[in-house]
Chain A
Amino acid sequence: MKLVQIAGYLGSGKTSLIIALTKGLAGKGKRVAVLVNDVGEVSVDGSVMEEYGLTVKDIGGGCICCQVAGSMLKTLELLANGPNPDIIIVEPTGMAVPNAIRETVAMLDVKKVAIKIGPTIVLFDLTRSGKLLSYDTLKRLITTQLKDADIIALSKAEMVSDETVRESAEAVCAINPKAEIMRLSTRTGEGLANLVSSVIETTVRV
């Protein structure tokens, strides 16, 4: 069982990517479950994904990177001891700090749950890049999310100019030079095959 995070700020396209990515993974014979965490008291994303036929576990009541970290561990144990999918995709809230989630997962008892850690994919919304980084509080959060990424996917690439993509790529590369940076459009399918391969082939930690 491999855990893959699809993180990124609010509205960056995480749910759309997960719906598309899950189809791609199923096409490669992988059994996928999705663990969803919404900010509000009720989950919209989980309901949407279920309509698209995905196996979804909802975690509410706060952010899994801090307030409800324990609930995430219990859910992962239940998944491992039940359906035991090949891949668990975690969609944290748009406010989540990916490394905090990774640190929490590292607390799992390896005798109970055999889990590999796959890549942390962080989405960066190209349509709002300048605006979001202009607010101090948000800049700190988004910068932290980007620093925690193994792969940074520049999302909604079909909606902006090549120049915006290039400038954004330079900006995020300055924040996290070690991450793989790629263009992504879930509408046109650009970058999806690459992400499917990365999710299957990349293991950050066993």
Chain B
Amino acid sequence: MTQSAGSGGQTLLEVRGLSASVGGLEILKGVDLTVKAGEVHAIMGPNGSGKSTFANVLAGKPDYEITGGQALFEGADLLAMEPEIRSRLGVFLAFQYPLELPGVRAWQFLKAAVDAQRKQAGEEELSARAFDRMLKEKIELVDIDPDLVKRAVNEGFSGGEKKRNEILQMAVLQPKLAILDETDSGLDIDALRIVSDGVNKLRNESNAVVLVTHYQRILNYIAPDQVHVLMDGRIVRSGGPELAHELEERGYDWIKEAVDAGV
């Protein structure tokens, strides 16, 4: 396994033997992953390999049943926490399909999210003014249309706007661990660049990013420290950025064959 310059920070996420099923069907069959502060991990794999399930299970989506293993976030049992607690403690999921909340102003939604996070940390709610100031900075940082926050959350947003809005939310909440679930899907090249720039600006020594993606494309913009291949519910290969390029050239079949052959 390639060690990267970014590693060596504190361990944020430690997943051991994580298994999960939905409707009795086992999707994750023992996933191991360690993410340290300052790192970017890419989780790649063919469709149906369990990538999105992995992201959703970490975030606490209720549809899944955990059948084995554990996930520690900063040493605490992540899987025992309600989804909102995971969020407030610093786990952020950028949704593959962000939901529309008709009539709920994006501004109000973000304010409620920030206040919930502050309350958890024993801090006071932000004044509307302080929040406005902060929001304005974040809007500039991630380079999105300021009018988006005046509209209802994702209502009538284009696919690209929805994805950018996720990055704005990430900028506002400043998570320690950001999991981006297929954030690149459906984005044209300009939107992909803007979204990637946003993520890069938000990276620092004390946070980490897990990129779940089918394609290598986004990795041209957000450079990963480690690349993992998830297949049939398990991580079957881990490597440096070169692994992503290899996948881009050769597809996933060769890995499957290699795994099946026990190589």
Binding partners A and B: no
Question: Which positions in B face A, CB cutoff 8 Å?
Answer: none
